[in-house]
Amino acid sequence: MFRSLRRFLLLLLSALFLLPAAAADLAEIKARGELRHLGIRYANFVTGSGDGFDVELVRGFAAHLGVRYTLVYSDFYTVIRDLLGREVVRGEDGVRLVGDFPVRGDMIAAGFTVLPWRDAVLLFSEPTFPSQVLLVARAQSPIEPIPGSDALDADVRATRALIGTNSLLVMKGTCLDPANYGLEGVGIDLRAYTRSTNLNEMVPALLNGEAELTLLDVPDVLLDLRKWAGRIKVIGPISDHQLLAAAFPREAPALRDAFNAYLRQIKTDGRYDALVDKYYPGIRRYFPEFFAGQAG
């Protein structure tokens, strides 16, 4: 009987460990003594070498809270599931959360774009960084960059028109998803990149001839123009200006509010500017209005 009871207890404990953990708010994280940062290897936000803009940002936040910082790597396809313990399903009737999965982190910070479908299931912080999606081609492409104007809407229309019948490399479920910008179902030859969820692979795939054009966002373009100097060119904008932010479960408003307070503090004392200059020198000329409003 004792053995049967012991076996039953072991099975019960095993089952409990497999259950998804509930979302943790500020009090639970302080009690636990650890903040788990869900990061995605992308551009200079999370480099994969233990540093990056968002890594330093969240590490500083953890220190501010007086808890241990832990970086948990994820990817753009599973990161929301890793945060909420639920899978996101997008359909014509909106966004649904389904299934039960282990909760692996407490917040997302990874050059994460605020998109309407994400906003429906997540709690976003104040903006951490600006962005915009651009159309990019190989340097030898006959497609020439648009002249550019003071009217962003007109520039977006002019850029979209240049896609024409050319193939376009995209990655669904990310900020480069064509559905975000009305590029699906309009006759464009879309080529979904599926070998991985690493957005850093988009330019190498373009250079390998997997499509004539691709989508990239400005922070990534800044790095790729240096890395692949003379091999790619920017054609023009595909989106309006976008905002990047940290994301939290909707059940963690106190944690989000604490992060916002910390973000405002480092924007005032200069630590935020130092991170921008370290990881994205030159970004200010693309978004002067955003950075002009960051101090104080």
Nearest CA to 44 out of 226, 291, 174, 247 is that of 226
Quote the distance between the C-alpha of residue 196 and its chain's center: 15
**What value does the mean pLDDT take over residues 179-200?**
92
**287 token code pair:** 């978004």
Q: What is the pLDDT of residue 183?
A: 96
Instruction: Tell whether the model's pLDDT for residue 195 goes beyond 50.
Output: yes
Q: pLDDT category, 233, cuts 50, 70, 90?
A: very high
**What value does the mean pLDDT take over residues 195-208?**
93
Instruction: Tell whether the model's pLDDT for residue 296 goes beyond 90.
Output: no
Nearest CA to 172 out of 207, 206, 215, 203 is that of 215
Q: pLDDT category, 197, cuts 50, 70, 90?
A: confident
Q: What is the pLDDT of residue 93?
A: 78
**Domains along the sequence of the chain with CATH:** 16-130+243-292 (3.40.190.10), 133-240 (3.40.190.10)
Quote the distance between the C-alpha of residue 6 and its chain's center: 46
Instruction: Specify the range with the lowest mean pLDDT, choosing from 3-17, 109-123, 221-235, 273-287.
Output: 3-17
State the alpha helices, DSSP H only, in 19-151: 26-32, 53-65, 79-84, 116-119
Instruction: Tell whether the model's pLDDT for residue 4 goes beyond 90.
Output: no
Nearest CA to 20 out of 78, 74, 71, 83 is that of 83
Q: What is the pLDDT of residue 177?
A: 93
Q: pLDDT category, 253, cuts 50, 70, 90?
A: very high
More confident residue, 261 or 172: 261
Are 176 and 217 in contact by the 8 Å Cβ rule? The answer is yes
- Of all residues in the chain, the percent with pLDDT exceeding 70 is 91
pLDDT tens digits along 80-111: 999 999 998 887 778 888 899 999 999 999 99
Instruction: Tell whether the model's pLDDT for residue 256 goes beyond 50.
Output: yes
pLDDT tens digits along 8-22: 444 444 444 434 455
